[in-house]
A and B are shown apart, each in its own frame.
Chain A
Amino acid sequence: MVLTDLHKGETAVVVRLAVEHEALKQRLLHLGVKEGKMVRVKAAMPFGGPVMVEVDGQAIGLRRKEASSIEVK
């Protein structure tokens, strides 16, 4: 399952960060999105826009494409 499969308000654990873009992956790591972390989907923008997730009480906005390369369970 990937992050974008979650519905609004659902929580899951990050299994793998399969983000291709190296800089983006670094940024996500530094924001606390990493393996073993609980993430919660807070909102999704319409027309395939970004999703808003929460990790450690920190809200982050990222694009659907990148969110879909974050594997969760």
Chain B
Amino acid sequence: MSYVALFGNPNTGKTSLFNCLTGSYEYVGNWSGVTVEKKVGVLRQHGVPVVDLPGIYSLQPLSRDEGVATDFLLTEPCSAIVNIVDASQLQRNLHLTVQLLEFGRPLIIALNMVDVAEKRGIKIDAVKLSRHLGVPVVPVIARTGKGAKELERAILSAKDGHHSRMFIDYGVEVERAIRRIAEQLPDDVPGDKRWMALQFLEGNERLAAYLRDHFDLSPLLAIRKETEQALGCQAAKHIYETRDRWISETIAAAAIEFKPKPLTLTEKVDAVVTNRYVGLPIFLALMYIVFMLTFNWLGTPLADQLDTFFSGPLTDWLSRLLDWAGASPFIEALVLDGIVAGVGGVLVFVPQIFILFFFISLLEDSGYMARVAMVMDRLMEAIGLNGKAFIPMIIGFGCNVPGVMAARTIEQPKERLLTMLLLPFMSCSARLPVYALFAGTFFIHEQALVVFSLYVLGIVVALGLAKLFSSTVFKNESSLFVIELPPYRVPQALTLWRSTWEKGKGFVRKAGTFIFGGSVAIWLLTYVGPHGVGVPMDDSLLAAIGGLIAPLLAPLGFGAWQAGAALITGFLAKEVVVSTMNIIYHVREANGLEQMIAAHFTPLSALSFMVFVLLYTPCLATVATIRKETGSWKWTLLSIGIALTVAYMISFLVYQVGMMFHFQ
């Protein structure tokens, strides 16, 4: 299978274009590093496989996600390359284009953001650019899908055909070195030998590692050294400068208009949100408004209505249906006390979760995300991380799994590892039902404030541990930070909705699969006891399991078997904590669960319980992702171990200190 591969600088709209071409709905956003792994799709109606790759500035990777793109060229066959070029940033975009042209496969340029470029006073003649580069150039607007049809035609006709004859003369020394290296290379290397020789001279580590597997590199290293002596500078610098001159000439020849002017909207917004004094307060205020909307103003009233519907009309209706169908009491109990309680108990929080996802999508799509990383960098530097680590953390508020993945864009291995290990402390949306239930019962008037404090606690714990680790285990490792700040854009309603739905879909799907299955299993555990079936709840298997750890939890204020059982099952997915409680305290009328919980918990033990659920362990899916991304069980188990210890310590403190001051 030979792919059509999408290459381009970060944040140039590769994934938007990929979605247009293949009819997929992959995740898009307005910051560098949205796509961190390759995604495969099929060109509509033509059956041609297309692959979307993480954005890169050059073929020499500096971070894990960039390595994915270089590895693709080295190891996978491609029938054509589509190079997405940001028309408003031609000079730096064409550096990658030149490297891709030298690779020697058919190439099509998708000239994106021509609208942004025109606003900035840059107008490019696609025909002239095409003539200069020797490849087709198709102007597109990837966000709206304009030009996608023309691009598709260009791909189909260029695929497996000739490649460009574009040639840059790098000067006597380098050209001689290229010839000498090419002679040494075996015939079956991927890409053009000239390309490979140039990449080697530039010091492409990935490529060197690839070649090292096949033969001894010392003669090639000697050639590089000789060349650098003759040049009097690094080969990479010389090659870069030669390309840069060539690119300037190309742009001069292809530009119709080139009087760059600033983008006024971006300037105005940045003057406020990156302001020295109000930048950080503005970010915190925005976050607080998001929480108020999610929990107080909008989300909770909606969730309450849904809850009334589930526990009232829906249960009645189902119960009548089951009676009519002549279902046995066992089935009736399984459906009403198991499935409706377990799955419904989680689904009622859909409004809150969608509102939260909507705001995360808004943050991602507007261009503000990269500014947040910059505003937060000073604080992050103090604890041994960098501002970029804040982006995975914000994504982690939605779900920890994509958060852990997003850490790939962090260049320094130590910073990336730390970010991944501490990410589970970011309070994901699955923990939200637990807070909504407990805070809604015990802290009716301060709900948003209590939940906001829990989120802040998660961040504070993560940052505190980061500081601890970076000043002990990871001492003496340098930290770096550089980030591209894209122009703002007004998010499109459709993109926002899709992006919200794509995130929320996972939650709804989980309710239908994992939580459904979990609810059935948990209900069965309450139905079966060590001494028979249909036993009272307190003699059930679930009570026995929960009872095992209950004594351990007693100092935290929730030593009943019910809490223990809910926490154990919550490892599957944190929503299951709520499902389990719904099943255990099986109550069929509206607000019944809240009354039951009020009888079993005090405000203080509820607070301690919420803190414990926030911190206690990453869920199963997150553990699997951490294992995959770190490639090490040691770090994965450490992440769980740290979480359990910290959760226990902080909950203990909350409860015991609270008792001391006679809070109940």
Contacts and interface: CB of A to CB of B under 8 A. Distances in A.
A45 B207 CA distance: 38
A38 to B, nearest CB: 10
Contacts of B50: none
Interface of A: 21, 23-24, 26-32, 34, 42-50, 52, 54, 56-63, 66
Across the A-B interface, give the 8 residue pairs with the lowest CB-CB distance, nearest first.
A49-B378, A30-B57, A61-B374, A59-B485, A43-B274, A61-B483, A62-B482, A23-B62
B136 interface: no
Contact of A52 (B88, B92, B374, B480): B374
A70 to B, nearest CB: 12
A20 B92 CA distance: 22
A62 B95 CA distance: 22
Contact of B260 (A47, A49, A57, A63): A57
Interface string B209-242: 0000000000000000000000000001000100
Nearest to B370: A61
A32 B482 contact: no
Contact of B92 (A23, A47, A56): A56
A45 B387 CA distance: 12
B411 interface: yes
B324 to A, nearest CB: 65
Interface of B: 57-58, 60, 62, 88-89, 91-92, 95, 120, 236, 240, 244, 260, 262-263, 266, 270, 274-277, 279-280, 370, 373-375, 377-378, 381, 387, 411, 478, 480-485
Contacts of A54: 262
Interface of A is mostly: mixed
A52 B275 CA distance: 10
B482 A42 contact: no
17 contacts: A23-B480, A26-B58, A30-B95, A31-B92, A43-B276, A45-B374, A46-B276, A46-B280, A47-B378, A56-B89, A57-B120, A58-B89, A58-B92, A59-B266, A59-B485, A62-B483, A63-B480
Given A27-B57, A30-B92, A60 B482 contact: yes
A62 B481 contact: yes
A43 to B, nearest CB: 5
Contacts of A43: 270, 274-276
Contact of B485 (A24, A60, A63): A60
Contact of B482 (A31, A45, A47): A31
